[in-house]
């Protein structure tokens, strides 16, 4: 996988970047994922569902050594990220990019437009190479074939909120109390993001 997002991204104008950084972290993440879905030809709601599952639609979310942080500003997130011990794993941003692997200690995962575009480009590429969105999703999570059911069901529950008409994961049997709780959680985060996007 490529490390530099610039290899997969369209050039974003300053007006697009300003829109992404205005408002709340959740609104920024929502705007970024919706744009990336359109730019990269992803099924409507897929990347937004992934972001709901990964960060709760929070542009500056961090997981440092397994501990979650939700800074309100990109600057605060950068301080936490920069202060992380070199041997700690760091998942960063709206779609939780593995920053130690893919960003090489760069701050681009904390830019919602850049990270969403990178993720959208990777998902589109993997779906093309592997022939299905579920396999692209498994690869996104770095999961084994045995983990595909769990991963797809988690994102499918979020997609029932972001695009209730979607049928891309209908071949997976995901009915459970956990799925319902996951769906409700996604709905709550999406409502907040949409209100803040206005």
> pTM here?
0.86
Determine, yes or no, domain membership for 5. Answer: no
Is the model's pLDDT at 4 over the cut of 60?
Answer: no
Give me the long-range contacts of 130-134 (CB less than 8 A, separation at least 24). Answer: 133/43, 133/46, 133/168, 133/169, 134/168, 134/169, 134/171, 134/172
Determine, yes or no, domain membership for 81. Answer: yes
Q: Where are the strands (E) in 9-158, listed by range?
A: 62-64, 67-69, 90-92, 97-98
Determine, yes or no, domain membership for 8. Answer: no
Determine, yes or no, domain membership for 21. Answer: yes
The whole-chain average pLDDT of the chain stands at 85
Q: pLDDT class for 7, splitting at 50, 70, 90? A: low
Determine, yes or no, domain membership for 7. Answer: no
Q: Where are the strands (E) in 14-144, listed by range?
A: 62-64, 67-69, 90-92, 97-98
Determine, yes or no, domain membership for 33. Answer: yes
| pLDDT (tens digit per residue) in 54-70 | 999 999 999 999 999 99
| pLDDT (tens digit per residue) in 71-113 | 999 999 999 999 988 888 899 999 999 888 888 768 999 999 9
For the chain, the domain total comes to 1
Domain coverage including residue 98: 13-197
| pLDDT (tens digit per residue) in 122-174 | 999 999 999 999 889 988 887 777 777 888 888 999 999 999 999 998 888 88
Q: What CA dihedral angle connects 63, 66, 67 and 71, to 10 degrees?
A: 0
pLDDT attached to residue 9: 47
Determine, yes or no, domain membership for 6. Answer: no
Computed on alpha carbons and rounded to an integer, the radius of gyration of the chain in Å comes to 16
Whose tokens are 């681009």? That residue is: 108
Determine, yes or no, domain membership for 3. Answer: no
């Amino acid at each position: 996988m490529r490390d530099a997002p610039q290899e997969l991204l369209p050039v974003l104008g300053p007006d697009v970047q300003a829109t992404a950084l205005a408002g709340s972290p959740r609104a920024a993440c929502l705007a970024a994922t919706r744009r990336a879905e359109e730019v990269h030809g992803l099924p409507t709601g897929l990347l937004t569902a992934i972001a709901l599952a990964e960060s709760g639609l929070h542009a500056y979310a961090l997981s440092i050594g397994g501990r979650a942080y939700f800074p309100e500003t990109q600057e605060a997130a950068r301080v936490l990220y920069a202060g992380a011990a070199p041997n700690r794993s760091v998942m960063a941003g709206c779609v939780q990019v593995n920053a130690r692997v893919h960003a090489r200690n760069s701050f681009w995962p904390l830019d919602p437009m850049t990270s969403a575009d990178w993720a959208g480009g990777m998902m589109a590429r993997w779906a093309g190479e592997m022939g299905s969105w579920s396999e692209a999703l498994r690869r996104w999570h770095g999961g084994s074939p045995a983990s595909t059911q769990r991963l797809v069901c988690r994102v499918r529950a979020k997609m029932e909120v972001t695009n209730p008409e979607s049928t891309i994961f209908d071949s997976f049997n995901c009915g459970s109390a956990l799925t319902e709780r996951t769906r409700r959680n996604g709905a709550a985060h999406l409502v907040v993001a949409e209100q803040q996007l206005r």
